[in-house]
Amino acid sequence: MFAGLALGVPLLLSLVLVAVATALAVHHRVPAAELTAPAAGARRRGDAWTVLAAATALGTAAACVAGARWAHDERLVAVSPLAAAAAYAAVALTAEATWPRPTARVRSARLLVRSVRDGAPGGLLGGALAAGLLLAAVCALGSALGAPDGRSVEWRSPDGVAVWSAATFPGAALTAPVAAAGLAVAVLTAAVLHRVPARPAVPGADEGTDEALRRVAAHRVLRTSTAAAVLTLAGLLFAAGVSGQLGGTYQVAEGVRRTSEPALGWRVAADAALWTGPLLVPVALAVLFRPARGLRRHRATAGAA
Amino acid sequence: MSGLRVLVDTASPVPAYEQLRRQVATLVTTGALRSGDRLPAARALAADLGLALGTVQRAYRELELAGLVVSRRRTGTVVTASAAPVAEEVRWAAEGYVERALQAGLAGEEVLDLVRDALLRASSRRAPAR
């Protein structure tokens, strides 16, 4: 029942968000007929590579989950969102690196300085950075608190008689591959964000159109990586919540029982992690399906009307 | 500055780096580019123009040698020279001349040839006075 809800609710939410994002994209989409041929071609190229990147990401995630079932290794499930984001960013980087260069005899270029910040929205950039830092902090904390097996957490009574253990906890065995995947995503995302301002301008496109096409490319990779980091964070926090079960009463001699529990702060933190985790799932989905501010229709000004 | 453009004709006998150098130098001389203005990264400009990175880097190097720009690691290539103070009536005269020459059907190079010829005559007239 709980497993069904845990899988069904995010899936339903994803479908709703996909529908809303698609409706918004269709509503705001400028018809190709209103764009110059090179601009329409550039947008078509960007869309085609995005579909390929999304398919690669979904395939990677599915392969991770299937591999986890086959190998009985939960680490593959833990890294699946970040592996998918890394695959997406790798395809996006290929798209940027192979962006067509001008071939006309006479070529022109604006003397315009472009930077990563021009393309990547500040809010999303800050969100990505915050999600990455939080994920790194949770990985470091989980590794430090986890039991030597790297998959569980232990609590030992002060007299050493009783030991409680809870699993699955994000210890070193789980957080090491997550941290490695997170690092790969960060490097690939940064590479794409640096590549976007340096790709050739679309010939004949005005400054606004060219900027919008770059902004969309940066937005797509940034939100995918951020959503993957937040989703992974949600999973790790939820798993860390099991540490709240540690402690209890134990028998030291005939008729003598003692109680040993971690400090109140520990239990509060564990409960907070247990509840924060699921709450982050809709946040991750909202980031993933947040539409970019792309090309907009030119509206007639009041003076022209 | 965002409206400023450079053009490169790949079929021209003038090397691409020289075409770039001339145009940027002209923009600095005429005041379209001012001291402190940043030029695009060589890699980005090379991508926009479909040129090799070395071509744009050479143009920037030549501009730096001429003292028009300076390249720094953090800020990129920045214009350092300011436009020479040209009297407004001289600028108008130049614009008027170009307009009349183009209306007369002269090509760009012919317009410049006439200026060069006028410069030569002027300098030869001044030579005996030295």
Assess whether B110 and B55 both reside in one domain. Answer: no
Spell out which residues of chain B touch residue A107, defining contact as CB-CB under 8 Å: 7-8, 10, 48-50
Low-confidence ranges of chain A (pLDDT < 50): 299-305
Task: Write down the pLDDT at residue A53.
Answer: 96
Residue B41 lies in a domain: yes
Assess whether B75 and B21 both reside in one domain. Answer: yes
Assess whether B57 and B106 both reside in one domain. Answer: no
* Residue B68: Cβ within 10 Å count: 22
Task: Write down the pLDDT at residue A247.
Answer: 80
Task: Please answer yes or no on whether A109 and B41 come within 8 Å at the CB atom.
Answer: no
Task: Write down the pLDDT at residue A159.
Answer: 83
Which one, of B37, B24, B116, lies nearest residue B80 by Cα?
B37
Q: What is the DSSP letter of B105?
A: T
| Whole-angstrom Cα Rg for chain A | 24
Residues of A within an 8 Å Cβ radius of B: 99, 101-103, 105-114, 197-201, 207
Assess whether B94 and B125 both reside in one domain. Answer: yes
Establish whether this prediction's ipTM goes over 0.85: no
Residue B7 lies in a domain: no
Residue pair B54/B18 in contact (Cβ under 8 Å)? The answer is no
pLDDT digits (tens, 9 = 90+) for B3-17: 789 999 999 899 999
The rounded distance, in Å, linking the Cα atoms of A201 and A194 is 15
Q: State the residue range of the domain holding B109.
A: 88-129
Closest chain A residue by Cα to residue B40? A113
Assess whether B30 and B75 both reside in one domain. Answer: yes
| Residue B63's CATH number | 1.10.10.10
Spell out which residues of chain B touch residue A201, defining contact as CB-CB under 8 Å: 48
Residue B72 lies in a domain: yes
Assess whether B70 and B29 both reside in one domain. Answer: yes
The structural domain count of chain B equals: 2
Assess whether B63 and B43 both reside in one domain. Answer: yes
What tokens were used for A194? 């640096």
Assess whether B72 and B100 both reside in one domain. Answer: no
Work out the pLDDT band at B23, boundaries 50, 70, 90. Answer: very high
pLDDT digits (tens, 9 = 90+) for B24-68: 998 888 888 988 999 999 999 999 999 999 999 999 999 999 889
Assess whether B52 and B74 both reside in one domain. Answer: yes
Query: Cis before residue A168, ω within 30 degrees of 0?
Result: yes
